[in-house]
Amino acid sequence: MQDSPDIQQACSAALAARLDAGFFKALGDETRLTIVLRLATASGPMTVSEVGTCCGTHLSGVSRHLSFLERAGIVSSEKAGREVYYRLNHGVLAEQFTGLVAAFSACEQYCCC
Amino acid sequence: MQDSPDIQQACSAALAARLDAGFFKALGDETRLTIVLRLATASGPMTVSEVGTCCGTHLSGVSRHLSFLERAGIVSSEKAGREVYYRLNHGVLAEQFTGLVAAFSACEQYCCC
DNA sequence: ATAATATTTGCACGATTGCGCGAATATGCA
DNA sequence: TGCATATTCGCGCAATCGTGCAAATATTAT
């Protein structure tokens, strides 16, 4: 199989599948990035209140941000009693970013000049 | 040097430096992602008008999106006569994503349980 | 100089977003 | 049962965003 329109189509489709606006949108807010950073450097799962101490916003906003991040697959939650523990999905992030690198690289190699 | 608050601080700072909301915000819009995909699979630089054929929006909007992407470092422009040629900064994207993988991985290794 | 083409900019509109506040819900404890 | 704590939800507000349209600008061609 050599460089043909077929392989270019495949590269394009693979990259398109990786380009999820929701994922990037979730990371495109300062407060949410602060939360992500806090969770990334935590020694374990954190409650909403604990996360809330790192960013100056109201706790309801923190709860909403965490839900947003969870919907994007970036964090996971687990309910324990009246508290909800959030943790960062390191695996998802690593897989996404490495996948993006590979997809962009493939496009550059097979589609570009 | 072993796992100490110092190295945790270093990991946190390194990740914080990578977490640029503007960068993610630039990729957090469907139309801009369509433009990025188009440029990623192009055989060379493209004019604003050429890029515009891939997304249903008005040409002025395409111009604005390209400016946004350029401000985020994702694309570069070069003026040639009355046309402006845009191209994807593959290197920047690769460096950003690989850097993110490394920074998250370091945090997971040295800060987390 | 005049006309045609490519791009950018100003403007207004509708939609979305992040936020704080208070109420509602859920759970644990006395 | 009553009370305190943790989280979520509904509401409204201000700010931002994406868009189309028309005008302005820049450059090329006649």
Classify residue B88 by its DSSP letter.
E
pTM surpassing 0.85? yes
Distance CA B46, CA B88 (A): 10
Helix/strand/coil for B77: strand
Measured between CA atoms, the residue of chain A closest to residue B97 is A97
- A3 interaction partners in chain B (CB closer than 8 Å): none
Cβ of A82 less than 7 A from strand C: yes
| Protein residue at shortest CA distance from C1' of C10 | B60
- Bridge-partner residues for A31, per DSSP? none
Tens-place pLDDT, residues B8-22: 899 999 999 999 999
Q: Which nucleotides of D are covered by protein (CB under 7 A)?
A: 5-10, 17-23, 26-28
Classify residue B68 by its DSSP letter.
H
Tens-place pLDDT, residues A79-110: 999 999 999 999 999 999 999 999 999 999 98
Cβ of A61 less than 7 A from strand C: yes
Tens-place pLDDT, residues B24-82: 999 999 999 999 999 999 999 999 999 999 999 999 999 999 999 999 999 999 999 99
Q: Residue A2 — pLDDT band, cuts 50, 70, 90?
A: low
